[in-house]
Structures are given as structure tokens and as C-alpha cells.
Amino acid sequence: MQNETKRKKILLGIGVLLAICLIIGVSYAYWRLVLYQTGENEVASSCFSITLTNEQNAINLQKAYPILDEEGKKLTPYQS
């Protein structure tokens, strides 16, 4: 008899915990705010000035991987 009441209390406790988790999960999904960007990024800086003179020759990096600074200094720089 005592084992049966103990088992019922354990099952009741598990049920209450599952119900609380379900309520928290549904509440989180309901009130979660999701924002999506629709426009382009615009960057403004007062530290330095950049002027794009030739937008036709874009820099394309295909199959690029990180290299050390010393190796990068040996490469030919991009010039427009």
C-alpha cells in the first residue's frame, strides 16, 4: 500500500514537471520575437574615408582559406 502511494506521488511529480516544461515551451514559442532584415547594410564611419572608383572589378574570393600574415604580405595586392 505504501509503495503504491509513493509511486503515485512520483508519477504526479513527473506529470507536474512535464506540464510546467510544456507551458514554458509554448509560452516561449508564442512570445519569441523574430526580426528579418529586408534592406542592405549601410556603414558610416568618421575615422577614415573610402572611395569606390571602379565598381566593375569586384573582388571575388573563391576557394579562399585563411593564411598567415607573412604569407599574405608576399601576395600581389588588389589595385583598381
pLDDT at 52: 67
Longest CA pairwise span in the chain (Å): 88
pLDDT tens for each residue of 34-69: 788 888 877 777 787 777 676 676 677 788 888 899
The pTM (predicted TM-score) of the whole model is 0.40
Asked if residue 16 has pLDDT above 90, the reply is yes
Q: What percent of the chain has pLDDT over 70?
A: 90
Confidence of residue 80 (pLDDT cuts 50, 70, 90): low
